[in-house]
Structure 1
Amino acid sequence: MIGLIGGMSWESSAEYYRIINREVRNRLGGVHSARSLMWSVDFGEIEHLQHQDDWDELTRQMIDAGRRLERGGADFVVLCTNTMHRMADEVAAAIRIPLLHIADPTAEKIKAAGFLKVGLLGTAFTMEHDFYKGRLEKLFGLEVLVPDAVDRRVVHDVIYKELVAGEVRPESRTAYRAIMARLIERGAQAIILGCTEIMLLVSEADSAVPLFDTTTLHALAAVDRALA
């Protein structure tokens, strides 16, 4: 059974649920669906703690969620958000079942495609801190480019002020296209959509290089593990 820590935001958690169940039906046929269990948090509380820089409390809450899923019978945990992988190691250490890290299936697909230099879009926490970029660089040998400070603020604000509330604005898509184009000018061979909401805004048609959507890749990796 797949254990999902969701609600960050529920918009992207719904995509996880849809992708996982659609893929299980595709692979098993008929009306099959995935055995899963989701613990969904209140993102209003999470977002406040993130911007208050209270990562100790956030870590406590993610560990609590992981333990609830373990007690509920989950075989492994999927943390349905990139940003909160900042405490992935602490969550993994606190539970007895595996945690499927979001960066790993993404990096594996990028390497398999032959790319070594990638752009990264995500929240400011994901783009600026080392927990995500560092894993891509140290474990997978990728060179990771992030937007400049002004563009990072645009990317972050669109996520927190629009996408987590389900708002998809054409002008924000235009802004993201321009930001991706600037990463490509700096040598990015592909772009990682390193926030689970970004796939709601942009698609392959918006980029001159391939996009690697962490939401889809993470969800498909969960299906691989569940059916293995």
Structure 2
Amino acid sequence: MKTLGLIGGTSWHSTIEYYREINTQVSKEIGSASNPELLLYSINIDIMRKQVLNDIQQKYLEVSQKLIKAGAEAILICANTPHMAADFVQPKINVPILHIADATAEEAKKMGYKKLGLLGNKPTMTKAFLKDRIAEKHDLQVCIPDEKEVQQSHYFVSKELTQGKFTQEAKDFYVKQIIAFKNRGVDAVILGCTELPILLKDVQTELPVLSTTDLHIQMATNFIMNT
């Protein structure tokens, strides 16, 4: 098995999901008596709230280098938004970053989806690091909500979900956004926040959803098992 370096902490709630599910998925392959060797560095989420891109990029480079020095053969960023640092970090390290956008886009293409809705916080929905990578590298169409809904989604993610608060109000909001995407002819919806699958885990949605967390975890598992 290959050794994977995990960068977590943004938030630690989603990091727990990554750690648990990577171990669970690998155990299905090798048996419950064994588990993969993982290196985990948990960053203080405050660096993301300040939203200073250069600071974020430098921090993720520094942490990636530490994990590689400790033996990581690839880097996995355990959240969507911090992937804004991936294009800066990747040329400066000698191991791959397993990118969450690639994991999501490959599944969309496998399922035959062409037009995708994207939900998450404001940077994830509006900046290039996720939606443009999916659209340009993988030739898929990506739609986001209107500005008012973008702001409301950002509030729920930054003020509630990343702090472990999962309210009925937030759940109702995202259900309505998925219905709105359906009315726009969207094929499936990307849950582009690692806490969104937790919030909506028991909800029957109007459109298929692509959980970036689950797909990223499967990519990690495949890397560890060299498959």
Tell me which interval the TM-score lies in, with the shorter structure as reference length. Answer: over 0.9
Measured after TM superposition, the shift of residue 131 of structure 1 is 1.8
1:85 alignment counterpart: 83
Q: Where does 1:174-213 land on structure 2 (aligned, <5 Å)?
A: 174-203=172-201, 205-213=203-211
| 1:38 counterpart (37, 40, 49) | 40
Deviation for aligned residue 1:85: 1.1
Which residue among 169, 173, 183 is the counterpart of 2:171?
173
Paired letter, 1:16: Y
Decide which moves more: 66-75 or 38-47: 38-47
Q: Counterpart in 1 of 2:215?
A: 217
Deviates more, 1:4-13 or 1:206-215: 206-215
Paired residues of 1:7 and 1:40 also in contact (CA < 8 A) = yes
2:29 match: 27
Shift of 1:46: 2.8
Amino acid in the other structure paired with 2:124: T
CA distance in 2, matches of 1:95, 1:204: 40
Structure-2 separation of matches of 1:67 and 1:34: 21
RMSD of the alignment, in Å? 1.1
For residues 177-213 of structure 1, give each alpha carbon's deviation from its aligned partner in whole angstroms, at most 9, with x where no partner exists.
0011101111111000111111121137341111110
TM-score, scaled to structure 1: 0.95
Match of 1:142 in 2: 140
> 1:224 offset after TM fit, Å?
0.2
Give the share of equivalent positions with the same residue, in percent: 35
Task: Specify the alignment match of 2:123 in structure 1.
Answer: 125
* 8 Å contact from structure 2 (residues 48, 82) kept in 1: no
Q: Paired residue for 2:19? A: 17
Whether the 8 Å contact between 1:203 and 1:211 is mirrored in structure 2 is no
- In the alignment, what sits opposite 2:8? 6
Query: C-alpha distance in 1, partners of 2:64/2:202?
Result: 33
Alpha carbons of 1:12 and 1:55: their partners in 2 closer, same or farther (altered >3 Å)? same
Provide the rounded CA distance (Å) in 2 between the counterparts of 1:42 and 1:76.
21
Q: What are the residue-to-residue correspondences of 1:108-119 with 2, within 5 Å? A: 108-119=106-117
- In the aligned structure 1, how far is the partner of 2:161 from the partner of 2:119? 14
CA contact (8 A) 1:163 1:200 kept: no
* Change beyond 3 A, Cα 1:108–1:204: farther
Listed one character per residue, the Cα deviations across residues 2-53 of structure 1 (whole Å, up to 9, x for unaligned) are: 1001000000010000110000111111322121001111112331x21xxx
Q: Which runs of 5+ in 2 are unaligned?
A: none
1:204/1:211 contact within 8 Å kept: no
- Partners of 1:168 and 1:187 lie apart in 2 by 28
**Structure 1: how far apart are the matches of 2:55 and 2:190?**
28
Question: Are the aligned partners of 1:119 and 1:192 in contact in 2 as well (CA < 8 Å)?
Answer: yes
On the 8 A contact 2:4/2:76 being kept in 1, the answer is yes
Secondary structure of 1:162's match?
helix
